[in-house]
Amino acid sequence: MPRFLFLSALAVFVTAACGGGGEVRECEPEGACFCTEGTERETLCVCEGGSDCSIDGDNIEFECDGNAACGLACGEDCLVTCPGTTSCTVEVGDGAVVSCPGTSTCHVTCFGDCEINVDGAASAEVDCVHEDQGAVCEING
């Protein structure tokens, strides 16, 4: 019974700390990424430019803030935005939507069906890992 209570308390803490859908696993530099309640997905995680962050969870919004580089990894149904002049290296699972507006450069590795939207003078390199197994990586723009 005490173990059940401990695990329940831990689950409540993680949910409160990260808005309900994800957990910051690694972030360099430390503290450069934070998570709150999301608007389009359950959780919103913002990583400062120049950071390399890994978030565990699904149904997460990611945003690389600033005009530097971010490394992001996420599970299923993630929404990733790399605005401005950022450079993002992104690994996502099934159902992800990645947006690269402005003059950003996105390097996307997709492990399932995903959508990549490129606007303005932005560019994207996409690796659709399971394309030979029927995964579809839709690129717009």
Write down the pLDDT at residue 114: 96
The residue type found at 70 is C
**How confident is the model at residue 23, as a pLDDT?**
65
Of 110, 29, 116, which is closest to residue 81 (Cα–Cα)? 116
The pLDDT score that the predictor gives to residue 51 is 82
pLDDT tens, per residue, the chain with 141 residues: 433 333 333 333 233 333 345 667 778 888 888 888 989 988 888 888 788 877 778 888 988 887 767 888 888 999 998 887 778 889 999 999 999 988 888 999 999 999 999 998 999 999 999 999 999 999 998
User: What is the pLDDT at residue 10?
Assistant: 30
Q: What is the pLDDT of residue 21?
A: 59
| Domain assignments of the chain as residue spans, ordered by start | 2-140
Q: What is the DSSP letter of 104?
A: -
DSSP H or E run through 84: none
Please identify which residue in the block is written with the tokens 């360099």: 28
